[in-house]
Amino acid sequence: MSVPVQSLHLADAREADDLAAFLARLIHYDRAAAVRLQAGSGALAVFGRPPSFEVLAIRTARLAEVVELDVTVSAGELLESLGGAEFTVPGAVTGPPWAGVLPPRGGWRELAGLPEVQAMRGAVAVAVAEFRARDEALPSERRTRAERDRIGREIWSRSVGGTGLPLRAVHAAQAFGFLRPGVPVALLSAGTWLRLRTPFGSVAVRTNGMGGLSVTPVRPTH
């Protein structure tokens, strides 16, 4: 989607730092990362998809004015433009397939069964340790990318507690700094989507996978 280059003005300059940290983490996992920006109702939502986790990571920020915007841009260029509360939106880029498959705007309901934050962080630590142990135990002839990916899919596809949320969503939330000790968290559901929401950001995942899907893009509610 092509839009004129324009500026956005955040309601709080400190949110620029939080947004910059989010973008830096995305670029850590994918130097060529793109993000989809959606602005409306006085808020900006930034969507990214770190390839290592196969989830959508979402960061929101309050805007000082009401503007409408929907564009996919380079995460690196956006990071470079962030220097304070007001910044320039980079030019549009051709979006990756995931950018056309976003969570629905409404219809979210909260689900029960989500463990406490400390328990979820502990589950991630146990899973990381298991992956390393199983990887180290592989004989040299089986120590391939395909075998490591298979082990990773098995571990990170496990459900969290009594929910259908895959452990990789919790892992992503922790890696992006969303899952902090003592913060309130909620598990939400809308159609085939699950979303782990915290005050610092959200992680969304489709329960039937994200690949090869095509739906009408809609603006999510955060």
Type of residue found at 108: W
User: Residue 105's pLDDT is what?
Assistant: 77
The answer to whether 194 and 204 are in contact (CB under 8 A) is yes
Backbone angles phi, psi at 204, to 5 degrees: -120, 145
Domains of the chain from N-terminus onward: 7-100 (3.10.150.10), 109-206 (no CATH)
Q: Tokens 């992006």 — which residue?
A: 176
The answer to whether 181 and 101 are in contact (CB under 8 A) is no
pTM above 0.75, yes or no: yes
Type of residue found at 81: S
Find the largest Cα–Cα distance for the chain.
59
Q: Which of 76, 71, 46 is nearest to 61 (CA)?
A: 46
Give 103-158 pLDDT, tens digit per residue.
987 899 999 999 999 999 999 999 999 999 999 999 989 989 999 999 999 999 99
User: Residue 4's pLDDT is what?
Assistant: 53
Give 53-62 pLDDT, tens digit per residue.
989 999 999 9
pLDDT-derived band at 40 (thresholds 50, 70, 90) equals confident
Give the tokens for residue 3: 């839009």
Q: Tokens 């930034």 — which residue?
A: 46
